[in-house]
């Protein structure tokens, strides 16, 4: 693989992780101190905690990061696990709302990294045996997220991956010129969960791999040109989930060029908010994307 891309991937991931780590040291990303199990406020830290845990869990899963990065990943996971009161908040939320999937999906990242909440394990295992939880009406790419979470945690159900894939937008192999911004995210998430973030590339059906090899470079190009760094980063994660790279190296150059000296990767071309708390909330997702794109690209190259 192109050495310049690997250099860019390393740089992007390392600095994005450093920015996340520093932001947490400065006190961002914490739940309100009085918070109970009501995690439903979309503006609170529940979602960022899950996303940071995702990035950290994959830094630890792959063997491409140095000791400093692994240590930072562990700090982020410890922080998140402590925020979730060692999984107790997830357990309470899942106990009260048996059809919700976000406790399962958030637990996945911690579970992958060795954290356990035995009562939650037992609860999830029981819920996995219900028709009711499998029949919840969910967007097809979200179904894949849930199925992959159950699979990685080791629950008993055996999904039909091809059928799940076929139900997504990507699964239809649609006219590639008809994609829109939101659907771009549907595509990336379909690939993330279907391949378990690049670990199982063969779970992506061959026709979809071929389809992505043809059209992913086009989507990366149009959203690179328009400075959609968050979406471009997700598309480069998709690239890293394919057996071979398909996107142009200049995507990497521009993504790295967009990253600020402090490691903040802006989500798009809008000015970054001067309020640090707002800047964290606005760009935390893109930092997670940067860590994942860089880490998974390096991991694919070394496989």
The residues binding other proteins (CB under 8 A) are 42, 47, 50-51, 54, 102, 105-106, 139, 142, 145, 175-182, 185, 189, 192, 214-215, 217-219, 221-223, 225-226, 228, 230-231, 248, 267-268, 270, 273, 281-282, 285, 288
Q: How far is the CB of 233 from other proteins (least distance, A)?
A: 10
Contact 104, 149 (CB under 8 A): yes
The residue length of the chain stands at 303
Cβ-based burial of 159 (10 A; exposed 0-12, middle 13-18, buried ≥19): middle
**Helix extents (H) in the chain:** 3-25, 46-61, 67-83, 88-96, 102-112, 118-128, 131-134, 140-153, 161-166, 181-194, 206-225, 229-240, 249-258, 276-302
Residue number with CB closer to other proteins (178 or 257): 178
Residue identified by tokens 């398909």 is: 246
Say how many CA atoms lie within 13 Å of 81 toward its Cβ.
Answer: 21
Nearest to 101 by CA among 157, 24, 59, 58: 157
d(CA 190, CA 28): 30
Q: Is the dihedral of CA 220, 226, 228, 229 positive or negative?
A: positive
Residue number with CB closer to other proteins (79 or 197): 197
Q: How far is the CB of 52 from other proteins (least distance, A)?
A: 11
Residue number with CB closer to other proteins (67 or 257): 257
Q: How far is the CB of 118 from other proteins (least distance, A)?
A: 23
Q: How far is the CB of 222 from other proteins (least distance, A)?
A: 4
Q: How far is the CB of 175 from other proteins (least distance, A)?
A: 6
Q: How far is the CB of 56 from other proteins (least distance, A)?
A: 13
Q: How far is the CB of 121 from other proteins (least distance, A)?
A: 19
Contact 147, 101 (CB under 8 A): no
Nearest to 199 by CA among 77, 58, 76: 58
Residue number with CB closer to other proteins (26 or 226): 226
Residue number with CB closer to other proteins (33 or 42): 42
Residue number with CB closer to other proteins (163 or 218): 218
Residues with Cβ < 8 Å from 196, sequence gap 6 or more?
148, 151, 152, 203
């Amino acid at each position: 693989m192109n050495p310049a891309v690997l250099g860019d991937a390393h740089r992007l991931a390392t600095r994005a992780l450093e920015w996340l780590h520093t932001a947490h040291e400065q006190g961002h990303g914490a739940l309100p101190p009085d918070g109970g199990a009501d995690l439903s406020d979309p503006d609170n830290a529940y979602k960022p905690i899950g996303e940071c845990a995702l990035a950290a869990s994959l830094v630890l899963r792959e063997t491409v990061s140095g000791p400093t990065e692994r240590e930072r990943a562990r700090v982020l996971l410890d922080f998140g696990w402590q925020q979730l009161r060692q999984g107790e908040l997830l357990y309470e939320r899942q106990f009260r709302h048996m059809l919700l999937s976000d406790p399962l999906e958030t637990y996945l990242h911690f579970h992958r990294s060795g954290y356990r909440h035995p009562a939650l394990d037992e609860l999830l295992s029981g819920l996995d045996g219900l028709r009711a939880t499998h029949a919840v009406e969910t967007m097809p790419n979200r179904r894949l997220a849930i199925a992959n979470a159950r699979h990685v945690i080791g629950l008993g159900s055996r999904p039909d991956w091809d059928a799940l894939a076929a139900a997504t937008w990507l699964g239809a192999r649609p006219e590639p010129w008809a994609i829109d911004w939101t659907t771009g995210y549907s595509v990336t998430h379909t690939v993330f969960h279907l391949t378990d973030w690049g670990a199982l590339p063969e779970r992506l059906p061959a026709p979809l791999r071929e389809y992505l090899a043809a059209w992913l470079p086009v989507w990366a190009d149009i959203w690179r040109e328009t400075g959609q760094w968050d979406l471009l980063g997700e598309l480069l994660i998709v690239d890293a989930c394919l057996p071979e790279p398909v996107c142009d190296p200049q995507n990497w150059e521009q993504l790295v060029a967009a990253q600020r000296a402090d490691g903040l990767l802006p989500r798009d071309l809008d000015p970054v908010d001067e309020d640090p708390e707002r800047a964290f909330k606005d760009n935390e997702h893109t930092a997670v994307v940067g860590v994942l794109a860089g880490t998974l690209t390096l991991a694919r190259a070394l496989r």
